[in-house]
């Protein structure tokens, strides 16, 4: 920049840097929820995704535990830092659906959790400490679909439909290692078709900008073509060819979790962490939370209006009673008028008698007593 340019330089070009610095100082929040049938590897996958430490103390459930399992939601938090950027990650692990749990109870608990976070945010936003709100809203729901069936099950359709207007759903095809390449392709196509047929709104990946470079565009195309992401979860490290690989070792070979040819795990992690985290947060805030806020305010207002109408009604005069009283008064007036007329008639008669020759003793008609 030469001297002339310096003079014309106002300084707002540093705005992005200022925003960047402020955001870095504040840190980032992200909440991820996993939902799906029991035993599909939800806990294993989130462990593989971020939390290798989180589940190390966990004991595998025994058969009895499975039968007696109740719906309870576990929230795990961890703070990770990379190049000075702090991310507070919250993982909401939900117990899978199974035969012992009623489908309605599953929806109820999940919906309640998501709505409770919106409610909390709404209250914080209207409170005194708006600047330091902790955002616990669920930004993404990884929905696990079974590889054993023929696409979506009824419970999947119902659950996704309960959740789709409240949270960004990203569908996953679980335990992809049990399917061959062709089966995987057919299963993915069927799942996407069923999602469309059932009018389920899953998270829509935004179009990438036209000025992005070709590599990025290609990566974006691959990402979109991978939905539902076929995942393999595993927390064991195996040795292969002198290298340590995270994978599942079978007698016939190793399924490598981090190999994009074996599954979409890397693409999913990249999407969640490096490319679409902010968009997931924006859609949560601008679409799902706004929906909640609008509905909540409308319900509050109609509640207040009803209350006001009720109050008005309670304090208003009783029109029926008033009408009755008016009628009675009219009747009384008419009666009095009639009596006055009769009285006047009688006095007239008495006057006539007074003027007659045999004058009887005058009688005083005293008011109404005679009538
Ligand atoms: N073949 C295969 N097995 C897996 C995979 N991921 C997890 N498993 C196994 O599946 C079993 C269940 O895994 P979990 O992670 O506990 O499943 P979950 O979905 O959390 O189950 P719930 O907590 O009951 O809802 C474990 O024995 C895992 O080792 C996978 O990608 N492929
Ligand atoms: Mg689990």
**CATH number of the domain enclosing 136:** 3.40.50.300
Q: Which ligand 1 atom lies nearest to the CA of residue 40?
A: 19
pTM as predicted = 0.76
If you take atom 10 of ligand 1, which residue's CA is the nearest one? 41
Q: Give the closest ligand to the alpha carbon of residue 95.
A: 1
Report yes or no on 184 lying in a domain. yes
pLDDT for 98: 73
Residue nearest atom 14 of ligand 1, based on CA coordinates: 41
Nearest ligand by distance to the CA of 175: 1
pLDDT at 202: 94
Atom of ligand 1 at shortest range from CA of 38: 25
Q: Is 39 exposed, middle or buried (0-12, 13-18, 19+ CB in 10 A)?
A: middle
Residues 249 and 352 in one domain: no
Domain of residue 343, residue span: 319-370
34 domain-assigned: yes
Among 32, 33, 38, 41, the mutation site with the greatest number of ligand 1 atoms within 8 A of its Cβ is 41
- Answer yes or no: do 54 and 118 share one domain: yes
User: What's the rounded Cα separation, in Å, for the pair 61 and 29?
Assistant: 31
Same domain (yes/no): 186, 274:
yes
Same domain as 358, residue 227: no
1 located within any domain: no
Q: Ligand 2 centre from 358 Cα, in Å?
A: 123
- Looking at residue 330, its pLDDT comes to 78
Answer whether residue 269 is part of any domain. yes
Based on the structure, what is the number of domains in the chain?
2
Residue 147 lies in a domain: yes
- The residue to mutate among 148, 231, 233, 248, having the most atoms of ligand 1 within 8 angstroms of its beta carbon, is 233
Residues 247 and 332 in one domain: no
Alpha-carbon gap, residue 189 to 293, rounded angstroms? 36
- Are the C-beta atoms of 33 and 167 separated by less than 8 Å? yes
Of 44, 63, 178, the one to substitute when testing ligand 1's pocket (max ligand atoms within 8 A of C-beta) is 44
Same domain, 201 and 243: yes
Q: Confirm whether 294 is domain-assigned.
A: no
Residues 211 and 344 placed together within one structural domain of the fold: no
Whether residue 297 is contained in a domain is answered as no
Q: Assess whether 103 and 153 both reside in one domain.
A: yes
Tell me which H or E stretch contains 221: helix 214-225
pLDDT value at residue 273 = 83
CA distances from 91 to 24, 76, 138, 319 (A): 21, 5, 9, 61
Q: Are 194 and 151 in contact (CB under 8 A)?
A: yes
Note whether residue 234 is domain-resident: yes
Asked if residue 42 and residue 179 are part of one domain, the reply reads: yes
Supply 8's token pair.
Answer: 């014309």
Count of CA atoms in the C-beta half-sphere (13 A) of 63: 0
Same domain, 189 and 47: yes
State the distance from the centre of ligand 1 to the C-alpha of 40, rounded, in angstroms: 5
Could you tell me if 180 and 323 lie in one domain? Answer: no
Residues with CB under 6 A from ligand 1: 38-44, 95-96, 175, 177-178, 232-233
pLDDT, block means (10 residues), the chain with 371 residues: 60 80 81 91 81 48 38 81 83 80 74 93 85 89 93 91 94 93 93 95 87 83 89 81 81 84 88 89 94 89 69 58 67 80 83 61 42 38
C-alpha triplet 165, 167, 171: angle, nearest 5°: 105
3 state DSSP class of 246: strand
Q: What is the pLDDT of residue 33?
A: 94
Strands across the sheet containing 253-256: 237-240, 243-250, 253-256
How distant is the alpha carbon of residue 38 from its chain centre? 23
Domain co-membership, 323 together with 218: no
The confidence score (pLDDT) of residue 356 equals 59
* CA 316–ligand 1 middle distance (angstroms): 65
């Amino acid at each position: 920049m030469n001297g002339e340019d310096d003079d014309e330089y106002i300084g707002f070009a540093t705005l992005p840097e200022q925003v960047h610095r402020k955001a870095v100082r504040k840190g980032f929040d992200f909440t991820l929820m996993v939902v799906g049938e029991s035993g599909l590897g939800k806990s294993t996958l989130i462990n593989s995704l971020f939390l290798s430490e989180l589940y190390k103390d966990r004991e595998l459930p025994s058969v009895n535990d499975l039968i007696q399992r109740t719906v309870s939601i576990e929230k795990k938090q961890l703070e990770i830092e990379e190049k000075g950027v702090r991310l507070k990650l919250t993982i909401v692990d939900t117990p899978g659906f199974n035969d012992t749990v009623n489908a309605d109870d599953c929806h109820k608990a999940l919906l309640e959790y998501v709505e409770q976070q919106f409610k909390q945010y709404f209250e914080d936003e209207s409170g005194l400490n708006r600047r330091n709100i902790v955002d616990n809203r669920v930004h993404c729901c990884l929905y696990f679909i079974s590889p054993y069936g023929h696409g979506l099950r009824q419970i999947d359709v119902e659950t996704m439909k309960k959740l789709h207007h409240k949270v960004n759903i990203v569908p996953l095809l679980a335990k992809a290692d049990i399917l061959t390449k062709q089966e995987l392709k057919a299963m993915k196509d069927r799942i996407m078709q069923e999602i469309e047929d059932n009018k389920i709104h899953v998270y829509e990946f935004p179009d990438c900008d036209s000025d992005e470079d070709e590599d990025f565009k290609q990566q974006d195309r691959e990402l979109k073509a991978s939905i539902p992401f076929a995942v393999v979860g595993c927390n064991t490290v195996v040795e292969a060819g002198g290298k340590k690989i995270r994978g599942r070792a079978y007698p016939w070979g190793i399924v490598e979790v981090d190999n994009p040819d074996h599954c979409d795990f890397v693409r999913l992690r990249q999407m969640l962490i490096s490319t679409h985290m902010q968009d997931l947060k924006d859609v949560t805030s601008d679409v799902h939370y706004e929906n909640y806020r609008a509905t909540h305010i409308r319900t509050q207002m109609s509640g207040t209006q009803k209350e006001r109408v009720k109050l008005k009604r309670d304090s208003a005069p009783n029109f029926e009673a008033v009408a009755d009283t008016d009628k009675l008064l009219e009747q009384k007036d008419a009666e009095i008028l009639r009596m006055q007329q009769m009285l006047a008639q009688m006095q007239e008669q008495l006057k006539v008698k007074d003027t007659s020759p045999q004058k009887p003793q005058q009688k005083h008609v005293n008011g109404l007593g005679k009538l």
